[in-house]
Protein backbone atom coordinates (compact mmCIF):
# COMPACT_ATOMS: atom_id res chain seq x y z
CA UNK A 1 0.00 0.00 0.00
CA UNK A 2 2.76 2.34 0.99
CA UNK A 3 4.59 1.29 -2.03
CA UNK A 4 1.57 1.92 -4.26
CA UNK A 5 0.94 5.34 -2.79
CA UNK A 6 4.50 6.38 -3.36
CA UNK A 7 4.18 5.06 -6.81
CA UNK A 8 1.15 7.22 -7.43
CA UNK A 9 2.82 10.17 -5.81
CA UNK A 10 5.65 9.87 -8.18
CA UNK A 11 3.24 10.29 -11.27
CA UNK A 12 4.34 13.34 -13.46
CA UNK A 13 1.79 16.32 -13.70
CA UNK A 14 1.95 17.75 -17.27
CA UNK A 15 -1.00 20.21 -17.09
CA UNK A 16 0.80 23.24 -15.64
CA UNK A 17 3.44 22.97 -18.26
CA UNK A 18 0.81 22.71 -20.90
CA UNK A 19 -0.97 25.75 -19.58
CA UNK A 20 2.27 27.67 -19.49
CA UNK A 21 3.09 26.63 -23.03
CA UNK A 22 -0.41 27.52 -24.19
CA UNK A 23 -0.23 30.88 -22.46
CA UNK A 24 3.09 31.50 -24.08
CA UNK A 25 1.63 30.52 -27.45
CA UNK A 26 -1.33 32.82 -26.95
CA UNK A 27 0.97 35.64 -26.01
CA UNK A 28 3.08 34.97 -29.08
CA UNK A 29 -0.04 34.81 -31.29
CA UNK A 30 -1.37 38.02 -29.75
CA UNK A 31 1.99 39.65 -30.31
CA UNK A 32 2.07 38.48 -33.91
CA UNK A 33 -1.52 39.63 -34.46
CA UNK A 34 -0.66 42.99 -32.99
CA UNK A 35 2.36 43.22 -35.24
CA UNK A 36 0.18 42.21 -38.22
CA UNK A 37 -2.47 44.83 -37.38
CA UNK A 38 0.15 47.50 -36.94
CA UNK A 39 1.84 46.43 -40.14
CA UNK A 40 -1.54 46.40 -41.91
CA UNK A 41 -2.27 49.91 -40.61
CA UNK A 42 1.02 51.30 -41.85
CA UNK A 43 0.64 49.39 -45.09
CA UNK A 44 -2.84 50.90 -45.56
CA UNK A 45 -1.50 54.37 -44.85
CA UNK A 46 1.30 53.77 -47.30
CA UNK A 47 -1.09 52.51 -49.96
CA UNK A 48 -3.46 55.47 -49.41
CA UNK A 49 -0.55 57.89 -49.72
CA UNK A 50 0.64 56.18 -52.86
CA UNK A 51 -2.89 56.32 -54.33
CA UNK A 52 -3.03 60.07 -53.66
CA UNK A 53 0.38 60.45 -55.21
CA UNK A 54 -0.78 58.34 -58.16
CA UNK A 55 -3.91 60.52 -58.56
CA UNK A 56 -1.79 63.67 -58.53
CA UNK A 57 0.61 62.10 -61.00
CA UNK A 58 -2.32 61.15 -63.27
CA UNK A 59 -3.64 64.74 -63.15
CA UNK A 60 -0.16 66.07 -63.88
CA UNK A 61 0.20 63.64 -66.77
CA UNK A 62 -3.16 64.87 -68.17
CA UNK A 63 -2.06 68.50 -67.87
CA UNK A 64 1.25 67.64 -69.51
CA UNK A 65 -0.63 65.88 -72.31
CA UNK A 66 -2.80 68.98 -72.87
CA UNK A 67 0.28 71.21 -72.79
CA UNK A 68 1.96 68.87 -75.24
CA UNK A 69 -1.06 69.10 -77.59
CA UNK A 70 -1.00 72.93 -77.36
CA UNK A 71 2.71 72.94 -77.99
CA UNK A 72 2.22 70.68 -81.01
CA UNK A 73 -0.55 73.01 -82.35
CA UNK A 74 1.64 76.05 -81.73
CA UNK A 75 4.50 74.27 -83.40
CA UNK A 76 2.31 73.55 -86.46
CA UNK A 77 1.14 77.20 -86.60
CA UNK A 78 4.72 78.39 -86.29
CA UNK A 79 5.75 76.04 -89.06
CA UNK A 80 2.95 77.44 -91.28
CA UNK A 81 4.03 80.99 -90.46
CA UNK A 82 7.62 80.08 -91.22
CA UNK A 83 6.52 78.63 -94.57
CA UNK A 84 4.52 81.78 -95.38
CA UNK A 85 7.48 83.97 -94.39
CA UNK A 86 9.79 81.90 -96.59
CA UNK A 87 7.33 82.29 -99.50
CA UNK A 88 7.07 86.07 -98.91
CA UNK A 89 10.84 86.30 -98.70
CA UNK A 90 11.20 84.42 -101.97
CA UNK A 91 8.59 86.67 -103.62
CA UNK A 92 10.34 89.78 -102.28
CA UNK A 93 13.66 88.57 -103.60
CA UNK A 94 12.09 87.95 -107.02
CA UNK A 95 10.49 91.43 -106.97
CA UNK A 96 13.83 92.92 -105.98
CA UNK A 97 15.55 91.21 -108.90
CA UNK A 98 12.80 92.36 -111.25
CA UNK A 99 13.04 95.94 -109.99
CA UNK A 100 16.78 95.87 -110.45
CA UNK A 101 16.38 94.70 -114.04
CA UNK A 102 13.60 97.29 -114.58
CA UNK A 103 15.74 100.05 -113.11
CA UNK A 104 18.59 99.17 -115.45
CA UNK A 105 16.20 99.15 -118.42
CA UNK A 106 14.50 102.35 -117.17
CA UNK A 107 17.82 104.14 -117.06
CA UNK A 108 18.40 103.25 -120.67
CA UNK A 109 14.86 104.39 -121.60
CA UNK A 110 15.25 107.60 -119.59
CA UNK A 111 18.47 108.37 -121.40
CA UNK A 112 16.76 107.83 -124.77
CA UNK A 113 13.83 110.02 -123.70
CA UNK A 114 16.15 112.81 -122.63
CA UNK A 115 17.86 112.73 -126.00
CA UNK A 116 14.47 112.87 -127.72
CA UNK A 117 13.35 115.74 -125.49
CA UNK A 118 16.46 117.72 -126.33
CA UNK A 119 15.85 117.17 -130.01
CA UNK A 120 12.21 118.23 -129.64
CA UNK A 121 13.24 121.32 -127.67
CA UNK A 122 15.55 122.36 -130.46
CA UNK A 123 12.79 121.86 -133.01
CA UNK A 124 10.33 123.78 -130.81
CA UNK A 125 12.78 126.67 -130.50
CA UNK A 126 13.05 126.83 -134.29
CA UNK A 127 9.26 126.74 -134.67
CA UNK A 128 8.83 129.45 -132.02
CA UNK A 129 11.19 131.68 -133.96
CA UNK A 130 9.15 131.11 -137.11
CA UNK A 131 5.90 131.79 -135.22
CA UNK A 132 7.29 135.03 -133.78
CA UNK A 133 8.03 136.25 -137.30
CA UNK A 134 4.53 135.23 -138.44
CA UNK A 135 2.92 136.99 -135.43
CA UNK A 136 4.80 140.17 -136.24
CA UNK A 137 3.49 140.00 -139.83
CA UNK A 138 -0.05 139.35 -138.57
CA UNK A 139 0.16 142.36 -136.27
CA UNK A 140 1.07 144.55 -139.21
CA UNK A 141 -1.86 143.13 -141.15
CA UNK A 142 -4.20 143.68 -138.18
CA UNK A 143 -3.11 147.29 -137.95
CA UNK A 144 -3.96 147.77 -141.61
CA UNK A 145 -7.32 146.02 -141.13
CA UNK A 146 -8.09 148.19 -138.09
CA UNK A 147 -7.48 151.30 -140.16
CA UNK A 148 -9.83 149.96 -142.81
CA UNK A 149 -12.43 149.15 -140.14
CA UNK A 150 -12.22 152.62 -138.68
CA UNK A 151 -12.85 154.09 -142.11
CA UNK A 152 -15.70 151.60 -142.66
CA UNK A 153 -17.28 152.46 -139.29
CA UNK A 154 -17.26 156.10 -140.21
CA UNK A 155 -19.09 155.25 -143.42
CA UNK A 156 -21.43 152.88 -141.53
CA UNK A 157 -22.46 155.64 -139.15
CA UNK A 158 -23.66 157.66 -142.10
CA UNK A 159 -25.37 154.57 -143.52
CA UNK A 160 -27.01 153.74 -140.17
CA UNK A 161 -28.32 157.24 -139.90
CA UNK A 162 -29.82 156.87 -143.36
CA UNK A 163 -31.19 153.41 -142.46
CA UNK A 164 -32.73 154.77 -139.26
CA UNK A 165 -34.37 157.50 -141.28
CA UNK A 166 -35.61 154.93 -143.81
CA UNK A 167 -36.86 152.73 -140.92
CA UNK A 168 -38.83 155.62 -139.49
CA UNK A 169 -40.28 156.32 -142.90
CA UNK A 170 -41.12 152.63 -143.37
CA UNK A 171 -42.75 152.41 -139.94
CA UNK A 172 -44.73 155.52 -140.75
CA UNK A 173 -45.78 154.03 -144.07
CA UNK A 174 -46.75 150.75 -142.40
CA UNK A 175 -48.72 152.60 -139.77
CA UNK A 176 -50.50 154.47 -142.52
CA UNK A 177 -51.23 151.19 -144.32
CA UNK A 178 -52.57 149.68 -141.09
CA UNK A 179 -54.76 152.72 -140.58
CA UNK A 180 -55.98 152.43 -144.14
CA UNK A 181 -56.70 148.70 -143.70
CA UNK A 182 -58.52 149.44 -140.46
CA UNK A 183 -60.58 152.04 -142.27
CA UNK A 184 -61.43 149.60 -145.04
CA UNK A 185 -62.26 146.96 -142.45
CA UNK A 186 -64.66 149.34 -140.75
CA UNK A 187 -66.23 150.28 -144.07
CA UNK A 188 -66.49 146.59 -145.06
CA UNK A 189 -68.19 145.52 -141.84
CA UNK A 190 -70.42 148.59 -141.97
CA UNK A 191 -71.43 147.68 -145.51
CA UNK A 192 -72.17 144.10 -144.42
CA UNK A 193 -74.33 145.35 -141.56
CA UNK A 194 -76.31 147.47 -144.01
CA UNK A 195 -76.66 144.61 -146.48
CA UNK A 196 -77.54 141.79 -144.06
CA UNK A 197 -79.50 143.84 -141.54
CA UNK A 198 -79.88 143.06 -137.84
CA UNK A 199 -80.28 139.29 -138.04
CA UNK A 200 -79.67 137.46 -134.71
CA UNK A 201 -77.88 134.62 -136.49
CA UNK A 202 -75.42 136.99 -138.25
CA UNK A 203 -73.51 139.39 -136.02
CA UNK A 204 -70.22 141.24 -135.49
CA UNK A 205 -67.92 139.99 -132.72
CA UNK A 206 -64.81 142.19 -132.32
CA UNK A 207 -63.16 142.43 -135.74
CA UNK A 208 -65.01 139.37 -137.13
CA UNK A 209 -68.29 138.95 -138.97
CA UNK A 210 -69.97 135.81 -137.60
CA UNK A 211 -72.48 133.46 -139.28
CA UNK A 212 -74.07 130.77 -137.15
CA UNK A 213 -73.46 127.38 -138.77
CA UNK A 214 -77.18 126.62 -138.90
CA UNK A 215 -77.60 129.51 -141.37
CA UNK A 216 -75.14 127.95 -143.84
CA UNK A 217 -75.02 124.18 -143.17
CA UNK A 218 -77.11 121.28 -142.00
CA UNK A 219 -75.94 119.40 -138.90
CA UNK A 220 -72.80 117.30 -139.60
CA UNK A 221 -72.59 118.59 -143.20
CA UNK A 222 -70.13 120.86 -145.07
CA UNK A 223 -72.44 121.47 -148.07
CA UNK A 224 -73.92 124.99 -148.24
CA UNK A 225 -77.67 125.14 -147.79
CA UNK A 226 -79.56 126.71 -150.71
CA UNK A 227 -81.28 129.07 -148.28
CA UNK A 228 -77.87 130.47 -147.28
CA UNK A 229 -76.76 131.46 -150.78
CA UNK A 230 -78.56 134.84 -150.94
CA UNK A 231 -76.79 136.01 -147.77
CA UNK A 232 -73.42 134.82 -149.14
CA UNK A 233 -74.13 136.58 -152.44
CA UNK A 234 -74.46 139.85 -150.54
CA UNK A 235 -71.16 139.20 -148.79
CA UNK A 236 -69.55 138.48 -152.18
CA UNK A 237 -70.88 141.79 -153.53
CA UNK A 238 -69.35 143.63 -150.59
CA UNK A 239 -66.03 141.82 -151.15
CA UNK A 240 -65.93 142.78 -154.81
CA UNK A 241 -66.42 146.41 -153.89
CA UNK A 242 -63.68 146.04 -151.28
CA UNK A 243 -61.25 144.64 -153.87
CA UNK A 244 -61.88 147.65 -156.08
CA UNK A 245 -61.34 150.21 -153.30
CA UNK A 246 -58.29 148.83 -151.46
CA UNK A 247 -55.04 149.89 -153.20
CA UNK A 248 -53.05 147.09 -154.83
CA UNK A 249 -49.99 147.77 -152.65
CA UNK A 250 -51.86 146.84 -149.46
CA UNK A 251 -51.51 143.11 -148.66
CA UNK A 252 -54.89 141.97 -147.31
CA UNK A 253 -56.97 138.81 -147.10
CA UNK A 254 -60.38 137.70 -145.95
CA UNK A 255 -59.80 134.78 -143.56
CA UNK A 256 -62.77 132.44 -143.28
CA UNK A 257 -62.63 130.41 -140.07
CA UNK A 258 -64.70 127.30 -139.35
CA UNK A 259 -65.65 126.45 -135.74
CA UNK A 260 -67.66 123.56 -134.22
CA UNK A 261 -69.09 122.88 -130.77
CA UNK A 262 -67.48 120.49 -128.29
CA UNK A 263 -69.58 117.47 -129.24
CA UNK A 264 -67.32 115.04 -131.14
CA UNK A 265 -68.08 113.81 -134.64
CA UNK A 266 -66.70 110.63 -136.17
CA UNK A 267 -67.92 109.74 -139.66
CA UNK A 268 -66.28 108.35 -142.76
CA UNK A 269 -66.24 111.86 -144.29
CA UNK A 270 -65.32 113.74 -141.11
CA UNK A 271 -63.28 111.69 -138.60
CA UNK A 272 -63.13 114.66 -136.20
CA UNK A 273 -64.29 118.26 -135.72
CA UNK A 274 -61.03 119.45 -137.32
CA UNK A 275 -62.08 118.01 -140.69
CA UNK A 276 -65.65 119.30 -140.39
CA UNK A 277 -64.62 122.87 -139.50
CA UNK A 278 -61.97 122.97 -142.25
CA UNK A 279 -64.39 121.58 -144.85
CA UNK A 280 -67.04 124.19 -144.00
CA UNK A 281 -64.55 127.05 -144.25
CA UNK A 282 -63.32 125.66 -147.59
CA UNK A 283 -66.92 125.46 -148.91
CA UNK A 284 -67.44 129.18 -148.18
CA UNK A 285 -64.11 130.07 -149.84
CA UNK A 286 -64.97 128.07 -152.96
CA UNK A 287 -68.36 129.73 -153.20
CA UNK A 288 -66.75 133.19 -152.93
CA UNK A 289 -64.31 132.28 -155.70
CA UNK A 290 -67.24 131.16 -157.86
CA UNK A 291 -68.70 134.67 -157.34
CA UNK A 292 -65.59 136.35 -158.71
CA UNK A 293 -63.56 136.98 -155.55
CA UNK A 294 -59.80 136.63 -156.16
CA UNK A 295 -58.34 133.47 -154.49
CA UNK A 296 -55.32 135.60 -153.47
CA UNK A 297 -57.60 137.44 -151.05
CA UNK A 298 -59.18 134.33 -149.45
CA UNK A 299 -57.93 131.89 -146.77
CA UNK A 300 -59.78 128.92 -145.22
CA UNK A 301 -58.94 127.80 -141.67
CA UNK A 302 -60.46 125.14 -139.41
CA UNK A 303 -60.32 125.44 -135.59
CA UNK A 304 -62.55 122.53 -134.56
CA UNK A 305 -64.00 122.98 -131.07
CA UNK A 306 -60.90 124.62 -129.59
CA UNK A 307 -61.81 128.35 -129.93
CA UNK A 308 -65.25 128.57 -128.28
CA UNK A 309 -67.08 131.90 -127.79
CA UNK A 310 -69.05 130.49 -124.87
CA UNK A 311 -67.49 128.20 -122.24
CA UNK A 312 -70.89 126.84 -121.20
CA UNK A 313 -72.19 123.35 -121.93
CA UNK A 314 -75.84 124.17 -122.53
CA UNK A 315 -77.56 124.02 -125.90
CA UNK A 316 -77.44 127.80 -126.37
CA UNK A 317 -73.67 127.88 -125.67
CA UNK A 318 -73.08 125.01 -128.11
CA UNK A 319 -75.16 126.80 -130.78
CA UNK A 320 -73.15 130.02 -130.40
CA UNK A 321 -69.87 128.10 -130.77
CA UNK A 322 -70.94 126.51 -134.10
CA UNK A 323 -70.05 129.33 -136.49
CA UNK A 324 -68.27 130.67 -139.58
CA UNK A 325 -66.23 133.84 -139.07
CA UNK A 326 -65.00 136.34 -141.69
CA UNK A 327 -62.02 138.49 -140.76
CA UNK A 328 -60.29 141.19 -142.86
CA UNK A 329 -56.63 141.09 -141.91
CA UNK A 330 -53.09 141.54 -143.23
CA UNK A 331 -51.55 138.87 -145.39
pLDDT of residue 305: 96
CATH code of the region 197-330? 3.30.1330.60
Strand 252-259, strand 323-330: pairing: antiparallel
Calculate mean pLDDT across residues 187-209: 72
Domain residue ranges of the chain, discontinuous segments joined by +:
21-73, 197-330
Nearest to 265 by CA among 212, 318, 228, 310: 318
Percent of the chain scoring above 70 in pLDDT: 78
Per-residue confidence (pLDDT) for residue 174, from 0 to 100:
55
Q: What percentage of the chain has pLDDT greater than the value 90? A: 31
Does this model's pTM top 0.75? no
Residue range 206-227, pLDDT digits in tens? 778 899 999 999 999 999 999 9
| CB contact set of 170 (below 8 Å; sequence gap of 6+) | none
pLDDT at 280: 97
7-11, 52-56, 181-185, 311-315 — which is least confidently predicted?
A: 7-11
Asked if residues 329 and 253 have their Cβ atoms less than 8 Å apart, the reply is yes
The answer to which of 175-179, 243-247, 266-270 has the lowest mean pLDDT is: 175-179
Tell how far CA 161 is from the center of its chain: 54
The residue that leads in pLDDT, 197 or 298, is: 298
Q: What is the pLDDT of residue 105?
A: 62
**Which pLDDT value is given to residue 321?**
95
> How many CB atoms are closer than 10 A to CB 44?
10
pLDDT, tens digit, for every residue of 120-143? Answer: 667 767 777 787 777 778 788 777
Mean pLDDT of the chain: 80
Amino acid sequence: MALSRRGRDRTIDYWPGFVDALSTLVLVFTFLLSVFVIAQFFLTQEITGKENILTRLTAQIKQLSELLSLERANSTSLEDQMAALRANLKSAEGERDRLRQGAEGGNRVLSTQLENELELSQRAASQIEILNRQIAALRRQLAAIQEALDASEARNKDSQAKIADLGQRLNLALAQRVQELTRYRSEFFGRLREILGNRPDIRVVGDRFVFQSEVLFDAGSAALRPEALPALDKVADALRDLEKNIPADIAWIIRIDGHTDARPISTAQFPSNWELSSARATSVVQYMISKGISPQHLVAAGFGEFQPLDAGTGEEALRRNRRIELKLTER
